[in-house]
């Protein structure tokens, strides 16, 4: 499923979520390389790493299609250097203005990273801009096929992350894979993917993967134990516990018949009924023999009460 997502199976907002244990920028660059190989122009709005670090490792045919907006050098306009992209310019019009400078045709917008924007602008503003970018670009005559955003999941409150996940058409969470996977030089990772199709169906899957030189993904299989085993088909394999005992747990036929013939204690049968009727004819008598220590007083103790 990761291969399909990288190959462009879904448009709209694609969120790549990473944590401090496992970085997600290499996966972001994999998506970028795949978009470029498909002939799309890729507009990167980079805020966290310098341009040369982002461009490193790409093939020449990818870098040709990469248009980098430098939000790293002076995003807050402290040094006043010209030519950069500041955080304030991240509006739908600002972004589509930068897109218009590129070639016509399908375009992919890459945000590295969305976390930087969320720390500097309120969440509703960022969400509105993300929603309006395709429309603003369409009114300028461009087609934005997808918006790839890198999000550092552990920098934001869980509610914010959930909000962005609900906006996204696909979410890929990157985490470390257990030791021993893949060959020695690989860095195996676990991708937890969620994809919302146009029909409304939601697909969720986990896969192991790694990223090779040139930012090509390589699938490493799926985690075992995630598919629940069908317990009905398991044969009953436990041994019979009543075999091989020194005492008898079974009943023979005569014993069984005798047991069935015993009436239950509270079962109201004809015999019980007749014994009860005989007993109620005579009143209950109590016979009491006082011994030497008893002090029997025949008077009624309540006689002196004036009630």
Partner 1 sequence: MFVELNELLNASPERPEQGKLTLLRDTKTDGSFLVHHFLSFYLKAGCKVCFVALLQSFSHYNIIAQKLGVSLTAAKERGQLVFLEGLKSCFDVFFGEEQHVGQTNPLQFVSKDGSNLKTMYEFVRTSLMASGSDSWKCPVLLVDDLSVLLSLGVRPVDVLDFIHYCRVAVCSQLKGNIVVLVHSNDDSEDEENELVVNSLCHQSNLILWAEGLATGFCKDVHGQLKIIQKGSSELKAEKNLLRIYQYKIQDKNVTFFARGMSAAVL
Contacting positions for partner 1 (CB under 8 A): 20-23, 25-27, 29, 48, 50, 53, 56-57, 72-76, 78-79, 115, 119-120, 152, 154-155, 186-187, 189, 210-215
Shortest separation between residue 221's beta carbon and partner 1, angstroms: 16
Shortest separation between residue 9's beta carbon and partner 1, angstroms: 21
Report DSSP state, residue 87.
G
Nearer to partner 1, 90 or 215 (CB): 215
Shortest separation between residue 13's beta carbon and partner 1, angstroms: 21
Nearer to partner 1, 155 or 193 (CB): 155
Shortest separation between residue 187's beta carbon and partner 1, angstroms: 4
Nearer to partner 1, 100 or 187 (CB): 187
Nearer to partner 1, 3 or 214 (CB): 214
**3-state class (DSSP) for residue 139:** helix
3-state helix, strand, coil in the chain (%, to 5): 30, 20, 45
Shortest separation between residue 56's beta carbon and partner 1, angstroms: 4
Nearer to partner 1, 184 or 228 (CB): 184
Shortest separation between residue 119's beta carbon and partner 1, angstroms: 5
Nearer to partner 1, 20 or 277 (CB): 20
Shortest separation between residue 176's beta carbon and partner 1, angstroms: 8
Please state, in angstroms and rounded to a whole number, the distance separating the CA atoms of residues 102 and 36: 14
Nearer to partner 1, 25 or 132 (CB): 25
Shortest separation between residue 20's beta carbon and partner 1, angstroms: 4
Q: What is the DSSP string of 67-82?
A: EEEE-SS-TT-SS--T
Please state, in angstroms and rounded to a whole number, the distance separating the CA atoms of residues 105 and 299: 117
Q: Say if residue 205 is preceded by a cis peptide, omega within 30 of 0.
A: no
Nearer to partner 1, 136 or 211 (CB): 211
């Amino acid at each position: 499923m990761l291969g399909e997502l990288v190959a462009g199976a879904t448009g709209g907002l694609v969120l790549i979520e990473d944590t401090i244990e496992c970085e997600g920028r290499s996966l972001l660059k994999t998506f970028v390389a795949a978009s470029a190989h498909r002939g799309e122009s890729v507009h990167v709005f980079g805020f966290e790493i310098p341009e040369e670090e982002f461009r490193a490792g790409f093939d020449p045919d990818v870098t040709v299609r990469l248009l980098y907006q430098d939000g790293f050098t002076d995003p807050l306009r402290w040094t006043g250097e010209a030519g950069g992209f500041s955080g304030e310019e991240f509006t739908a019009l600002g972004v589509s203005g930068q897109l218009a400078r590129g070639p016509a045709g399908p375009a992919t917008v890459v945000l590295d990273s969305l976390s930087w924007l969320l720390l500097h602008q309120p969440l509703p503003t960022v969400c509105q801009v993300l929603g309006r970018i395709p429309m603003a670009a369409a009114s300028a005559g461009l087609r934005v096929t997808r918006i790839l955003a890198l999000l550092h999941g552990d920098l934001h409150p869980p509610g914010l992350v959930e909000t962005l996940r609900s906006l996204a058409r696909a979410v890929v969470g990157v985490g470390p894979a257990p030791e021993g996977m893949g060959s020695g030089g690989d860095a195996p990772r676990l991708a937890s993917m969620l994809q919302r199709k146009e029909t409304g169906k939601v697909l969720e899957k986990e896969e192991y993967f790694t990223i090779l030189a040139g930012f090509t993904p390589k699938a490493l299989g799926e985690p075992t134990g995630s598919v629940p085993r069908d317990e009905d088909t398991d044969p009953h394999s436990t041994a019979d516990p009543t075999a091989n005992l020194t005492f008898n747990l079974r009943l023979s036929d005569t014993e069984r018949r005798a047991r069935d013939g015993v009436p239950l204690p509270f079962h109201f049968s004809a015999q019980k009924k007749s014994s009860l009727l005989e007993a109620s004819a005579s009143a209950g008598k109590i016979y009491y023999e006082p011994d030497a220590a008893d002090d029997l007083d025949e008077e009624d103790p309540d006689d002196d009460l004036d009630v």
